[in-house]
Each structure stands twice: as C-alpha cells, then as structure tokens.
Amino acid sequence: MATSCKHPLLLSLISTFFLLTSALLSEPDILLTFKASIKDPQNSLSTWSNTSGTHHCQWAGINCTATTTTTLSVTSLNLQSFNLSGDISPAICGLPYLSELNLAGNFFNQPIPLHLSQCTSLETLNLSNNLIWGTILNQISQFGNLKVLDLSKNRVEGNIPQAIGALHSLQFLNLGSNLLTGSVPSIFANLTELVVLDLSQNTYLVSEIPTDIGKLVKLEKLFLQSSGFHGVIPNSLVGLQSLSVLDFSQNNLTGRVPQILGFSLKNLVSFDVSENRLSGFFPNGICNGKYLINLSLHTNVFNGTIPNSISECSRLEVFEVQNNLFSGDFPVGLWSLPKIKLLRAENNRFSGEIPDSVSMAGQLEQVQIDNNSFTGKIPHGLGLVKSLYRFSASLNGLYGELPTNFCDSPVMSIVNLSHNALLGQIPEVKNCRKLVSLSLADNNLSGSIPESLGELPVLTYLDLSDNKLTGPLPQALQNLKLALFNVSFNQLSGRVPYSLIAGLPASFLQGNPDLCGPGLLDSCSDDQPRHHSSDLTTLTSALISLAFAVGALIIAGGFIFYHRYYKQRAQVGLWRSVFFYPLRVTEHDLMMGMDEKSAAGCGGVFGRVYIVSLPSGELVAVKKLVNFGIQSSKTLKAEIKTLAKIRHKNIVKVLGFCYSDDSIFLIYEFQQKGSLGDLICRPDFNLQWSVRLRIAIGIAQGLAYLHKDYVPHLLHRNLKSNNILLDAEFEPKLTDFALDRIVGEAAFQSTLASESTLSCYNAPECKYTKKVTEQMDVYSYGVVLLELVTGRPAEQAEPSESLDIVKWVRRKVNITNGAVQVLDPKIKNSSQQEILGALEIALCCTSVMPEKRPSMSEVVRSLQSLDSRTHGAVIDFSSFEEH
C-alpha cells in the first residue's frame, strides 16, 4: 500500500520521466509498460503481447483512429470490468492521441491518479466503481481538457475543492457514492458546459444547495439525492433552462418549493424531492411543463390542497404524495390520466371519491390511498382497468357494495379495503388468478364466504375479520397455501376444515362461537349442529371469553403445538433419515429438544435454528421445515446433498436430515457460541470491534461463496443474525441457506411469509417482486452489518414500538455527527474511522434501489480494506495531506 501513497510532486516528477522516455517508445511498448504495473488475475489482457501476432489496435479494450493516412493511433482504452488492480501507470500518457480512458468496475486501490493530467488529449476519464480513496487535491485543476470525469462509487473523502471549478470543459461530473464531507463550494459559475451533475449518495456532506448551480444553463440532469443537503431549495435554480431530471430525495431540505421553479423548468420530466422536510403548498408550477412523467413529493410535511390542474400533466406516470399533510378533495382528473401507472397518496387527509372514469386510466398499475377520508362507492370502472395489480384503500370511509368486478384485473395481486364501511356480499372472485393478498377486514360485509376464493392458486393472505359474515367456512379453502387466515369476529358456523387448524396458516378463528373443530371450544364431537339450552348460554359465553384468552395464547405460542400433536399421533414410524456424518438421532429427540428451547431468545420463534442436545450428549443445530411434499424424496435427497457438499469455513456443515410427509429437520453441526442473533440480544453484548469486523467479513465471504463460487450458484434467501452461528473463535457460519431448493419455491415463500411477515431483513422490493436476486441477500447482509455496528438487534421484541433498524439509522446519519451517534457506544473510540467505514458499507447494502447495492465480493474487499491491521492507507494518507 505504501507505494500508492506517494507525494504528488514526486508523482509528477515520475510521470514527467515517463513522458520523456515514452515519447521515444512505440505504442505497443507504452501499452506493455502500462500493463506491467497492473495485476490481471483473470488474464483479461492476454492479447496484450508482442508475440500474439495481432496489431495492438486489436488488443482487448483498445480502439484506434487513423491519425495520418498510414498510421493508426490509440484513441481510447476501455478496460471496464476486467477485474484489474495494481497501479495505474503514468506511462499511458505516452499515447499522444488518447482521449478516453475507462477503468471503471475494477479494483484499483489508490488515490486519484493525478498524473493522468499529463495525458494531453484526455477528454474522458472514468474511474467509477473502484477502490479509489483519498481527497480530491487542488491539482485536479490540471485536468483542464476533461469533458467527462466519473469518480463515482469509490471512497473519495474530504471536501470538494474550489479547484474543480477550473475544469471549464466539463460536461459530465459524477462524484456520487463517495465519502465526501463538508459543504459544496461555489464552483459552478465557470462550469457552463455541464450537462450532468451527480453528487448523490455522499451521506457525510453537510451543505446547502449552492446557488450558483443555477448558472448551469445546459444542465439536463441534477442528482443530489441521499446526501447531506439541508436548507432551502434556492430560487436561483430557475436558471436551469434545460433541466429534465431533478432528484433531491432523501436529504434534509426545508422550506417551500419555489412556485416559480416549475414555471421556469419547462423541460422537466422527473421531479423528486421525496423524504425531506419540505412544507407549504403543493408546488403547482411543477406541472406547468408538458413533459412531466415522474412527480414525487412523498414523506415531507406539505399541506393544503392539490389543485385539479395537475391533471393537465397528460404524460404523468408516477404521482407520489404519500406521507404528507395534504387535505381537500383528491384531484379527480388524476384518476383518468392516460399514462398514469402509480398513484400513491396514503397517509394524508384527502377526501373525495374514486370516479367511474378511472376506467380510462389504461396503464394504471398501483393505487395506494390508505388512511385518508375518501368516501363513496368503489366504481365499476375500477374493475375495467386490466393492468391494476395493487389496490389498497384501507382506513377510509368507502361504503356501498363491492362491485362484482372488483377483482377482475387479471394481474391483481393485492387488495386491501380493510377498515371501511362496505356492505353486502363478497362477490365471487374468478378472474384475479394472481391474487396474493385480500383484506376486507373491519367492514359490514354479510352473507357467506365465496367458494371461489378456494380456487385462487396463489392466495396467501386472507383477512375477512370483523364483518358480519355467516355460514360455513368453504371446504375449498383447504386447497390454498395460506400463510395467514383471519375470519375472527364474524358469525360463521360449522366445522372448520382440518388443514386450517392443523396446517401452516396462522389461523384466527375466535369470535365465531358457532365454529367447531379440534382445539376449539366446540370440538364437533357430534356432527349435528348443537342446540344450547338457554341456561347454558351464560356459561357458554363465559367459556367463550376464556377461550379467547386461551385461543390467543394458542395462536401466539403456536400452531407448532397442533402440528406436533397431530404428527406424533398420526405419523409415528413414517420418518426417514439420511446422514452425511455418523449421528445417532431420532426425530423424537429432535422434537423434544426443540420444544425446550422454543421460547428462548428474542427473535421470532419460527425462523430460528435451534440448538438441540441429543440424549447421547452431542449438540446439534436443527432447523425444522414444513414439507409440502412437492418434491419427491429423490429430489429432496439430491437437493440436500447439494447443500451438504458445500465446504467453506463460513458455512455450517449439514450433517444430515430427517423427513416425514409433512416436516423436514435439517441437522447442522453445532457451534459453541450459538447464534449471533442471541448474542446481540443479550443486554451485555460487548464484543470489541475487531471481532465484529471479523464476523462481518466471515459472513460476507460465506455469502460471496454461495453467490459466485459454489456450483450451482445459490442464494441464501433467509439471512438474519439468528441464522448465523459462531464457533469458539467467533468465526461465523451461515445456516438456513437455500431452503427454497429443498421445499420448492411456493412452499418456501409461504414458509417465509408465515415466519416473518414483516421481517426487516427483507429487502423492500420483496414486497412487490417475485424475482429473487442476489441483491436481496445483500440487503439482509446490510441489516446484519448494521446490527454489528450499532449493537442493536434488528428485530425488536415489540416491532411496532420502534423504527426498523435501517430507517432508524438512515434518519440519524443525515444529521451532523449523526453517523457517530448510531455507533454502538460500547465500542472503543479508537476504531471509529473503521466503524464509520463499515456503517457506510451497511448503508450501501441496504440501499432501497437494488441496483445500487454492491456485490458480496465487493463488500468483502471493502471490509478487508477497512481492517487497519492489513491496510495502512488511513495512516499513510494523513501524512500525505500535510504537504
């Protein structure tokens, strides 16, 4: 590392030397000199060789242009994502016509290579997504000819220097996703050519928006989101005549959005000021431009009404004003805009009705207007919108009957009309074959539960509680793979289908005294409907209230009980076992062992891996899964074998498994220190930082191995601190990985759903996409890293009581010194820089946008470079700055 920390003067001497000598060298020699200082583990530059017989213009990543009639000269070098590291040699500036150098997406770990300013023809320099560190020095001004400078996604720190203002030709400046600090100086007066300016994701900036940005008349895109901008949006921004995209979201901006802004910025396509503290009126002028597509003001404190003129924005696709204090009638014209896709207005005080003309919104996909004062009936027109997949309007005053076509959109997945005043019957639902979640709780619905609900193939949540529904529970509901089933407090009667009591769904049946079944007050011992004599009625109702209390306990503590109870009675002898290691264990041992511990720890009861002590005295870690019997036992064995073959120091060994028709016990090797989750929950959790960092690196390595190195590539899909075991040396080991392969996708989804409906380890996109990605694991990893950094458990015992950890941290880090405040006070101050670095990584991993999250191998590298024992950069750097 020490070699990367040379004095700038020395650097320029060296580069002058290179220039002098390289002027005499041929282009292939210059390229070979450049290559000599580069580490190229993938051999991506194998064509770069005199012996390959190819002309150097054909070498990988090289583009030439004819500079005379007989000579081709190298004009561009594009080595993006070649997995390169080592030193960026100034020798490259010996190429007199080099105008573009793209080294993005590599692993260069050094300060900004100022010596490249010697490349006299250089116009484009892209170093994005490397491990570049250190401050931006004043010598940056030597890059006077640069048109494109991309330093994004590195670890550049310190203040933005005034000297950048000297890069008069710049058209594109991206300093996003770095560790810049302080206030952005007035540097823009001379950067009149700028078309794109990106200072986003620099959470340590503490700055007002510089007023001279308004001088950038050619600017088309301005990205300041998720940085530390505070204060008001300056009026001077009216000067941004060409602006089409403005993103100021997730800052700490206050005051009003100047009305004049919208009237001046006539080319605006996207305007996002969400998640600030902006107040006052809706910025009506914003809609003056004809091109507006995205408008997002959500999570501020705007108040007043929204004028109907917004519906003149005929191209509008996204309209998000949720979580404000808006009131008055919701602009009726918005409902029928031809391009509108997303309408979000929840958590305001809007009134008004949904017009039948909503049928004209042919692109409408999502409506969320929960927690307002909407009234009126749900129009027939809504059912005609065939693109609608989410309609959520809970906590309003909607009344009347549900139209028979309310669920006719073939893509409809989520309907939430709970807490309204709907009347009449629930219509038969036939067309919404993709319906996942239906909540009609707390209305005045009557009649019986439609049979057709049982035919919806993916219905997982069904909440019909607090209505006046009568009649029996349709037997067809047994067909569903429900995770939650709630019909409490209705007037239902008859026998409860067996699987709704004994199976997976968390069933809520109380408040229906005429329902009967095993475990209920009335166990249906005789199949005839019972007749209570009137003197028994008082006793019965007393018993019923007792049953509520008992029922609540049963429901909370578990359908595990039922599950086990029935299994033990019905399925003894049906167990089969496969062991990859010599083990003496029966399923009875496992079940007894899991019972004893089932209430321990602070995490959810269902999601965890249990430590079980076998009668032989051995300890094993056990995970119980519900077997839906979708996989044949051959597939099951093959899949578990795939997992059992993994050998990595950070992945726990699978010792074997037992399975019956309805359960699978996976047996993992025991780890002495138990789960990380339990450790963090303990009030005396007090690990020193170096141990926490080692744990963080280990987990990241295990995940990176699953994602990239193991064949087949696997996703973990349920990473949380409870699923990370620690050995005697605190080396972490992942458990509970890739269970989707064992139980099948559908069953996995519903197991997860039943385990942790609102788990804060799940990436936000899990709510709306079925596509499973590595980035979701990265998000969960980020949450675990936040737990290590803050010393707080991610999932508090009382979830409603506090913010989830990601939100909690994000709120704090935006304020001055806020980042320091979230760190676990029990860790020594001397490690603070490292911990802040880890916090930064955790924040990247928990980015809302999946594509902004790093890969696990990037995380491993970044964490390793934090480790002060292997990396001297921080120390070297301070001496570097003194000169």
Ligand X SMILES: *[C@@H]1O[C@H](CO)[C@@H](O)[C@H](O)[C@H]1NC(C)=O
Minimal distance in Å, beta carbon 552 to ligand X? 18
Minimal distance in Å, beta carbon 247 to ligand X? 8
Q: x/- contact string, 290-319, with ligand X (CB under 6 A)?
A: ---xx------x-xx-------------x-
CA distances from 25 to 18, 20, 138, 409, 614 (A): 10, 10, 31, 69, 74
Q: Which of 73, 139, 279, 311 binds ligand X (CB under 6 A)?
A: 279
Closest C-alpha among 298, 304, 217 to residue 264: 217
**Alpha-carbon span 194 to 241, nearest angstrom:** 12
Is 63 one of the binding residues for ligand X (CB under 6 A)? yes
Is 42 one of the binding residues for ligand X (CB under 6 A)? yes
* Touching ligand X, residues 402-431 (CB under 6 A): 416, 418-419
Residue 461 burial (CB < 10 Å; 0-12/13-18/19+)?
A: buried
Q: Which stretch binds ligand X (CB under 6 A): 689-697, 810-818, 827-835, 846-854?
A: 810-818
Amino acid at site 62 = I
Is 815 one of the binding residues for ligand X (CB under 6 A)? yes
Q: Which stretch binds ligand X (CB under 6 A): 347-355, 632-640, 739-747, 789-797?
A: 347-355
Q: Which is nearer to ligand X, 536 or 815 (CB)?
A: 815
Is 47 one of the binding residues for ligand X (CB under 6 A)? no
Is 439 one of the binding residues for ligand X (CB under 6 A)? yes
Q: Which is nearer to ligand X, 459 or 520 (CB)?
A: 459
Residues 361 and 337: beta-carbon distance below 8 Å = yes
Q: Which of 171, 207, 250, 252 binds ligand X (CB under 6 A)?
A: 252
Q: Which stretch binds ligand X (CB under 6 A): 22-30, 571-579, 845-853, 859-867?
A: 22-30
Tokens at residue 376, please? Answer: 């009126």
Q: Which of 14, 72, 269, 605 binds ligand X (CB under 6 A)?
A: 269
Three-state DSSP class for 523?
Answer: coil
CA distances from 699 to 645, 649, 772, 786 (A): 18, 10, 20, 13
Tokens at residue 658, please? Answer: 């037992």
Q: Which stretch binds ligand X (CB under 6 A): 343-351, 377-385, 572-580, 833-841?
A: 343-351
Place of tokens 């793979």: 481
Is 284 one of the binding residues for ligand X (CB under 6 A)? no
Is 329 one of the binding residues for ligand X (CB under 6 A)? no
Residue 420 burial (CB < 10 Å; 0-12/13-18/19+)?
A: buried
**What's the chain's Rg over C-alpha atoms?**
31
In the chain, count of helices (H) and strands (E)? 18, 46
Task: List CB contacts of 582: < 8 A, sequence separation 6 or more.
Answer: none
Is 105 one of the binding residues for ligand X (CB under 6 A)? yes
Is 848 one of the binding residues for ligand X (CB under 6 A)? no
Q: Which is nearer to ligand X, 338 or 615 (CB)?
A: 338
Q: Which stretch binds ligand X (CB under 6 A): 73-81, 500-508, 736-744, 772-780?
A: 73-81
Is 862 one of the binding residues for ligand X (CB under 6 A)? no
Residues 145 and 121: beta-carbon distance below 8 Å = yes
Three-state DSSP class for 727?
Answer: coil
Q: Is 61 left (phi over 0), alpha (psi -120 to 50) or beta?
A: left
**Alpha-carbon span 820 to 790, nearest angstrom:** 10
Is 814 one of the binding residues for ligand X (CB under 6 A)? yes
Is 852 one of the binding residues for ligand X (CB under 6 A)? no
Q: Which is nearer to ligand X, 663 or 775 (CB)?
A: 775
Instruction: Tell me, by CB under 6 A, how many residues bind ligand X.
Output: 59
**Alpha-carbon span 107 to 121, nearest angstrom:** 25
Is 172 one of the binding residues for ligand X (CB under 6 A)? yes
Is 230 one of the binding residues for ligand X (CB under 6 A)? yes
Q: x/- contact string, 749-768, with ligand X (CB under 6 A)?
A: --------------------
Buried b (16+ CB within 10 A) or exposed e, 756-791: beebbbbbeebeeeeeebbbbbbbbbbbbbbbbbbb
DSSP result, 569-624: HH-TT--EEEESS-----HHHHHHHHHHHTT-SSS-SSSPPEEEE-TTS-EEEEEE
Q: Which of 34, 48, 82, 670 binds ligand X (CB under 6 A)?
A: 82
Q: Which of 266, 315, 637, 811 binds ligand X (CB under 6 A)?
A: 811
Residues 844 and 177: beta-carbon distance below 8 Å = yes
**Alpha-carbon span 720 to 760, nearest angstrom:** 9
Is 44 one of the binding residues for ligand X (CB under 6 A)? yes
Task: List CB contacts of 322: < 8 A, sequence separation 6 or more.
Answer: 298, 299, 344, 345, 346, 347, 348, 368
Q: Which is nearer to ligand X, 346 or 678 (CB)?
A: 346
| Helices 27-36, 8-22: inter-axial angle, 10-degree rounding | 150
Q: Which of 1, 5, 29, 524 binds ligand X (CB under 6 A)?
A: 29
Is 7 one of the binding residues for ligand X (CB under 6 A)? no
Minimal distance in Å, beta carbon 857 to ligand X? 6
Minimal distance in Å, beta carbon 285 to ligand X? 18
> CA 167 from chain center: how many Å?
37
Q: Which is nearer to ligand X, 133 or 461 (CB)?
A: 461
**Alpha-carbon span 172 to 174, nearest angstrom:** 7
DSSP result, 838-880: HHHHHHHHT-SSGGGSPPHHHHHHHHHHH-TTT--HHHHHHHH
Q: Which stretch binds ligand X (CB under 6 A): 186-194, 584-592, 612-620, 777-785?
A: 186-194
> Phi, psi (5° rounding) for residue 268?
-60, 130
Minimal distance in Å, beta carbon 51 to ligand X? 8
Is 635 one of the binding residues for ligand X (CB under 6 A)? no
Minimal distance in Å, beta carbon 756 to ligand X? 14
Task: List CB contacts of 737: < 8 A, sequence separation 6 or more.
Answer: 643, 651, 706, 714, 716, 717, 718, 719, 723
Is 245 one of the binding residues for ligand X (CB under 6 A)? yes
* Cα end-to-end span (Å), the chain: 19
Three-state DSSP class for 326?
Answer: strand
Minimal distance in Å, beta carbon 35 to ligand X? 11
Q: x/- contact string, 356-375, with ligand X (CB under 6 A)?
A: --------------xx----
Minimal distance in Å, beta carbon 60 to ligand X? 8
Q: Which of 58, 71, 81, 537 binds ligand X (CB under 6 A)?
A: 81
Q: Which of 16, 47, 73, 80 binds ligand X (CB under 6 A)?
A: 80
* Touching ligand X, residues 119-138 (CB under 6 A): 126, 128-129
Is 625 one of the binding residues for ligand X (CB under 6 A)? no
**Alpha-carbon span 441 to 467, nearest angstrom:** 7
Rounded to 10 degrees, the C-alpha dihedral 209/214/215/216 comes to 90
Q: Which stretch binds ligand X (CB under 6 A): 28-36, 379-387, 401-409, 527-535?
A: 28-36
Is 701 one of the binding residues for ligand X (CB under 6 A)? no
* Touching ligand X, residues 453-472 (CB under 6 A): 461
Is 352 one of the binding residues for ligand X (CB under 6 A)? no
Q: Which of 106, 135, 274, 394 binds ligand X (CB under 6 A)?
A: 394
Minimal distance in Å, beta carbon 5 to ligand X? 25
Positions in the binding site for ligand X (CB under 6 A): 26, 28-29, 32, 42, 44, 50, 61, 63, 76, 78, 80-83, 104-105, 126, 128-129, 148, 150, 165, 172, 186-187, 189-190, 230, 245, 252, 269-270, 279-280, 293-294, 301, 303-304, 318, 347-349, 370-371, 394-395, 416, 418-419, 437, 439, 461, 708, 811, 814-815, 857
